[in-house]
Amino acid sequence: MSITTADKALNVRLPSELAAQLEALTKATGRSKSFLAVEALEAYIEQQIWQIAEVKAGIEEADRGEFASDADMNAIFAKYAN
């Protein structure tokens, strides 16, 4: 992550508890609130983009009729069942 003068500002209202946790984290890490917020947003957005892509891929597979067979599913259940 790199912040430049061309970056956009974002004002966010935080619940008091989250604001206190962010403040504590800034003190513990020596990082700014902006750095930590950008880092958190980057991780969240990356995860969401991945998840949406996986869901879309799954829907496309289902639309093509690509499903696990009953035998495949039974093998998975047998492997992980306790």
Of the pLDDT bands very low, low, confident and very high (cuts 50, 70, 90), residue 2 is low
Domain boundaries, the chain: 16-80
14-29 pLDDT, tens per residue?
A: 999 999 999 999 999 9
Mean pLDDT, the chain, rounded, equals 92
Of the pLDDT bands very low, low, confident and very high (cuts 50, 70, 90), residue 81 is confident
3-12 pLDDT, tens per residue?
A: 566 688 999 9
User: Which position has the token pair 């403040």?
Assistant: 23
**How far from the centroid of its chain's Cα atoms is residue 29's Cα?**
22
**How far from the centroid of its chain's Cα atoms is residue 56's Cα?**
16
